[in-house]
Amino acid sequence: MTGWIIPPPKNPTKTKEQFGIERAEKVQQLIRKGYLKSKRIKEALLKVPREDFIPDNYSDYAYLEVPLPLPGEKATISCPHSYPLFYEPLGLDQDHRFLEIGLGSGYGTALAREIVGSEGLVIAIEIDPSTFEFAARNLRNAGYTDILLIRGDGGLGYPRLAPYDRICLTAACPEIPPPLVEQLRTGGRLIAPVIEGKTQNLVLLKKSEEGVRTETLCEVLYVFLRGRYGKDEGAF
């Protein structure tokens, strides 16, 4: 897999109406390409304005299939298809207690908040202070005040509110951090990009009474996880 080609920064020109049309077209494209199946994930993608989670000088590219730079060290908003790519196999659904590692722009967090609904719980952890501030501001401006945002090393999880029904890592790790597996409920699922040699694979982990089973879904390319269970050198 090669790196991404990021378009150059430019002043924003698009109207809310144009973004609305692009958003609806993107959802149809994700359905056609087989990424998007669940009604709740589809409704969330139609509702959350992705352009409001992107720095102004990249917001015109909101619905292009590229990751875009965010404030912070190597932080990016992932490309649009990556949300159903992660959330569909995760089976993220109504009422789930959801832990996200790697808040980034806050866009995936906002989608999760819509998907789990008012009886669910969303907790998101970000290690980079500038990225954290950017995401917190985006979420506040978009009206998402009922998400627990934590600045710190997400590899350690957040034991205080464990166990979680679903856990999602949005940064690539050499191994799935053991504290996260511990904090996953029996019957729960975790999804993460895992580094294997020069490649990264999207891995789905299922925890049951019999133990833990993992399944490799596809090749992906994400920034590296930092912190205790991370890897030093980042990548796109």
Residues forming the active site? 78
Q: How far is the CB of 90 from ligand SAM (least distance, A)?
A: 13
Contacts with ligand SAM, 15-54, as mask; x by CB under 6 A: ----------------------------------------
210 phi-psi bin (left φ>0, alpha ψ -120 to 50, beta other): alpha
Q: How far is the CB of 211 from ligand SAM (least distance, A)?
A: 25
Residue 108 burial class via C-beta count within 10 angstroms: exposed 0-12, middle 13-18, buried 19 and up:
buried
Q: Identify residues 169-198 at the interface with ligand SAM (CB under 6 A).
A: 170-171
Helix (H, G, I), strand (E, B) or coil at 101: strand
Q: What is the 3-state secondary structure (H, E, C) of 126-194?
A: ECCHHHHHHHHHHHHHCCCCCCEEEECCHHHCCHHHCCEEEEEECCEECCCCHHHHHCEEEEEEEEEEE
User: Helices 16-32 and 39-47: crossing angle, nearest 10°?
Assistant: 160
Pick 9 or 187: Cβ nearer ligand SAM: 9
Pick from 59, 131, 138, 183: which binds ligand SAM (CB under 6 A)?
Answer: 131
The reply to whether 138 sits near ligand SAM by the rule CB under 6 A is no
Pick from 22, 52, 60, 153: which binds ligand SAM (CB under 6 A)?
Answer: 153
What letter does residue 80 receive in the DSSP assignment?
Answer: T
Near ligand SAM by CB under 6 A, which window of 15-23, 89-97, 149-157, 200-208?
A: 149-157
Near ligand SAM by CB under 6 A, which window of 24-32, 119-127, 194-202, 213-221?
A: 119-127
Q: Identify residues 47-106 at the interface with ligand SAM (CB under 6 A).
A: 72, 75-78, 101-102, 104-105
Question: CB count, 10 Å around CB of 14?
Answer: 16
The sign of the CA dihedral 86, 221, 110, 58 is negative
Q: Residue type at 60? A: D
With contacts defined by CB under 6 A, how many residues of the chain interact with ligand SAM?
27
Q: Which residues bind ligand SAM (CB under 6 A)?
A: 72, 75-78, 101-102, 104-105, 107-108, 125-128, 131, 153-155, 170-171, 222-223, 225-227, 230
